[in-house]
Amino acid sequence: MTPLPLLEVSKLKMHFDAGKKRTVKAVDGVTFQIREGETFGLVGESGCGKSTLGRVLMRLYQPTEGSVIYRGTNLHALSEKEQFAFNRKLQMIFQDPYASLNPRMTVREIILEPMEIHNLYNTHKARLLVVDELLE
């Protein structure tokens, strides 16, 4: 039996009303799967919809059509309480790394920071062990 994909995006569309009977199709029918342990890169020219897709995946935008399934759960059908719990699991790093990642921090500190903000694991020492394991 094949395990469920970590993330499954199916026929995802994000269209914006541009006025005067015009529609901007920022994302139009994107489908992909990411399995546990895989690395996924999304590339394309400026203005092709990469950031919009990311915002839909993070539920910052409600898609026009399609689905985003994370570990078997439809992200756009979550209750408010479920959304809060989900926000602790996934985060987006925007295109400009200097706006997202502090160049004065080490990679270890950057990985540790959200664990501390969301109070993951019982102690600071436990968080450090997890970070070191991830970096290994």
The low-confidence residues of the chain, meaning pLDDT below 70, are 1-2, 93-95, 97-100
Supply the pLDDT for residue 94: 65
DSSP string, 82-116: HHHHHHTT-----S-HHHHS-TTS-HHHHHHHHHH
Supply the pLDDT for residue 101: 76
Which are the contacts of 41, defined by CB distance < 8 A and separation ≥ 6? none
- Domain with 136, as residue range(s), is 101-136
Supply the pLDDT for residue 1: 66
Supply the pLDDT for residue 37: 86
**One domain for residues 13 and 61:** yes
The answer to whether 47 and 55 have CB atoms below 8 angstroms apart is no
Supply the pLDDT for residue 97: 66
Q: Does 24 reside within a domain? A: yes
What CATH number is associated with residue 26? 3.40.50.300
